[in-house]
Amino acid sequence: MDSPASPIVRRSFLKASAGLAAATATPRFLSAAERARSIGANSRIRIAQIGCGSRGIGAHLAGIQKHAQATNIEVVAVSDPWRVAREKAQAKAKEAFGSDAKMCVSYREVLEMKDVDAVMIASPDHLHTLHLEAAAKANKHIYVEKPLATEFDQLLRSYDAAKAAQARGSIIQVGTQLRSIPGVAGARELVKSGLLGKITRVDETRNSEKPYWYSYLGRDVKEADVDWKEFLNDRKARAFDARQYAAWYGYYEFCQGPVPQWGAHFLDLMHYVTACGFPESCMCIGGVTYWKDENRFTTPDNVMATWMYPDGMMVTSSNNFGNSSGNLRKFFGDKGTLDVGNWNVPTYSAEGGPKRDGKIRGKQEVTPIERPDHFLNWLQCMRDNQTPHADIDAGYQHAVAVLMAVISYDTGKKTLYDHAKRRITTA
């Protein structure tokens, strides 16, 4: 295995105590009952954006903007260590909601604001658990991006905090939005119907000619505009590096690559469609095999992970950033095959099924099941106190699968997961 340069040791991946201590004490904010009263049928929902990069502005703020009038929402604060990103997010909020959102350098400033009901988290991957845990302890409603975690002990701690917040009334949606696509919901019902028979394998291959992190190199980041320590958080201290900040996706200590990034979506889709539970084992290999240049990127550009699930179902996620051909996303049953290559319009056929029984004729489109988009679903659930499409348990499930692959990649060993003990070990 081609190991990444200066790999992050999975500091505590064998720790699995349910009672991991909180990293920092936080003050008490609005109780769930108090917040429930503040978000009534006609009350305005006040939202803050934590992380104002392309995802925060282009997906989060844009995603809620189209529902602003129908759901009575307002963005009251934006937070990012980079001044340029903060100003862009504030301008977007001004355009969308007509108000001047407060600009904050740190997420701590946001959580100290008593008028913030909910936060959307789109920070770099290594900060997701930090921001999730803090927001949960502050009793906020939360929308948090995937992958949910980069370290297993931090996953457990943030998950426990989120579950406690959920019990107090917080609505938490994880950003695996494929669950909210009508075609994917229809695919779930198709599999549940038994028409495809027993699913024995699910494969995704998602390739590209070039790693996506190269597209961020053009960002002009100046040291004077960045709170570098806020960005690094618990990563090793070092001198400011504009390239690392601009294209953090390409550096393994901040982003562990396409399996956590893209594979998290695929895994969550697969969990949702098959209701398969947690993986039992995983093996993952790969490395920086092609894009070796002056940028010294350490995130793998060629990687494959394989998981075994209960009842013998095998799942693979593969990415090659040296050739864009060969993409697929299929569920293989003993009576037929489901193709979710286009998740908006999945199709199915009897192709390949050794027990195909004539009930499937030709290639058929999956019947979609209408449902609100992911952002609208979260906003509606805050009003109605309902469980969102991708709740914190769904996030924990994909995060476990992702971290099994990450730990296998790091160690070169097979990983095993014990759900009862909440423990990942190596074999």
pLDDT at 12: 40
* Inside any domain, residue 119: yes
Same domain as 91, residue 160: yes
Asked if residue 23 has pLDDT above 70, the reply is: no
pLDDT at 42: 65
Same domain as 200, residue 347: yes
Q: Mean pLDDT of all residues in the chain?
A: 92
Give tens-digit pLDDT for 85-115: 999 999 999 999 988 999 999 999 999 999 9
Same domain as 171, residue 239: no
* Inside any domain, residue 427: no
* Inside any domain, residue 404: no
* 309 φ/ψ angles, rounded to the nearest 5 degrees: -110, 170
* Inside any domain, residue 407: no
Decide which of 15 and 229 is more confident: 229
pLDDT at 2: 40
Cβ distance 115 to 29 under 8 Å?
no
Residues 345-370 have a mean pLDDT of 97
Say what percent of the chain tops pLDDT 70: 90
The CATH number for 225's domain is 3.30.360.10
Same domain as 301, residue 188: yes
| Through-space distance between the first and last CA atoms of the chain, rounded to whole angstroms | 17
Q: Is the pTM of this model over 0.85?
A: yes
Asked if residue 361 has pLDDT above 70, the reply is: yes
Cβ distance 379 to 169 under 8 Å?
no
> In Å, how far are 44, 92, 158, 180 from 72, measured between CA atoms?
5, 17, 29, 21
Give tens-digit pLDDT for 216-271: 999 999 999 999 999 999 999 999 999 999 999 999 999 999 999 999 999 999 99
Cβ distance 178 to 265 under 8 Å?
yes
Residues 348-356 have a mean pLDDT of 97
Same domain as 361, residue 236: yes
Same domain as 234, residue 360: yes
Same domain as 73, residue 213: no
Same domain as 242, residue 133: no
- Domain count for the chain: 2
Rounded distance between C-alpha atoms, residue 313 and residue 319, angstroms: 20
Give tens-digit pLDDT for 191-215: 999 999 999 999 999 999 999 999 9
Asked if residue 391 has pLDDT above 70, the reply is: yes
* Inside any domain, residue 416: no
Asked if residue 84 has pLDDT above 90, the reply is: yes
Upstream peptide bond of 147 is cis (omega within 30 degrees of 0): yes
pLDDT at 99: 85
Cβ distance 47 to 118 under 8 Å?
yes
> In Å, how far are 67, 304, 421, 427 from 149, measured between CA atoms?
29, 19, 19, 22
Same domain as 250, residue 167: no
Same domain as 137, residue 240: no
* Inside any domain, residue 257: yes
Strand partners, 285: 304
Tokens of 258: 């396409």
Same domain as 222, residue 175: no
Say what percent of the chain tops pLDDT 90: 89
pLDDT at 122: 98
* Inside any domain, residue 12: no
The CATH number for 90's domain is 3.40.50.720
Give tens-digit pLDDT for 55-83: 999 999 999 999 999 999 999 999 999 99
Give tens-digit pLDDT for 120-168: 999 999 999 999 999 999 999 999 999 999 999 999 999 999 999 999 9
- Of 229, 307, 221, give the one whose Cα is nearest residue 263: 307
Same domain as 236, residue 190: yes
Residues 6 or more apart from 125 whose CB is under 8 A from it? 147, 150, 254, 255, 256, 260, 261
Residue 220: give the domain boundaries. Answer: 181-370
* Inside any domain, residue 403: no
Asked if residue 26 has pLDDT above 90, the reply is: no
Q: In which band, very low, low, confident or very high, does the pLDDT at 40 lie, cut at 50, 70 and 90?
A: low
Q: Where are the alpha helices (DSSP H) in 98-240?
A: 107-111, 128-137, 152-167, 182-193, 228-232
